Amino acid sequence: MKIKPTPTQKKLKELFDYKEGVLYWKISTAPRVKVGDVAGYFHKATGYFFIMIDGKMYKRHRLIYMMFNGKCPTTLQVDHLNHNRVDDRIENLHLVTEKENHKNQKLNSRNSSGVVGVCWNKLVKGWQAQIKADGVHHHLGIFKDKEEAIRVRKEAEIKMGFSVNHGMI
């Protein structure tokens, strides 16, 4: 089985027009594909747009990044700065390592404190602050005051190089 190469920047510019985070077909690549159509489809389960090129599926944001910047190593990830997976505007995309991407996560929907890494600990009846960086969990303390736990957590994020958007909705 032959592995299909990733499309080049030149090929992407031949296939697509880009406008505000959306790709439009420049040429018809299949009977159902019309020139000017929005390329790809939204995959509800993942929250990403996908586009098929030469029988292989690609995430739209990676293709857009490659269109503007050339190669996009498979060892790196294209991160959405504002956490919105459908906002594929080039100014919202940047290349990061997996570790860096973990430092720019949105707030989990199950979070009850409103701040990543801060939760109420029932056993000790206090606000617990913690952080995980580079695969290591760090216990930052238990606090009677929620605001103090948040302050300590935010200081740890800065010290450990987290994105300013980390934990935003």
Q: Are 32 and 69 in contact (CB under 8 A)?
A: no
Domain boundaries, the chain: 9-74, 105-159
Distance in angstroms (rounded) separating the CA atoms of residues 56 and 29: 13
134-167: pLDDT as tens digits: 778 999 999 999 999 999 988 998 888 876 666 6
Collapse the DSSP code of 65 into the 3-class scheme (helix H, G, I; strand E, B; otherwise coil) and give the result.
helix
CATH topology classification for 105-159: GCC-box Binding Domain (3.30.730)
Q: In the prediction, which pLDDT does 19 show?
A: 98
Q: In the prediction, which pLDDT does 74 show?
A: 87
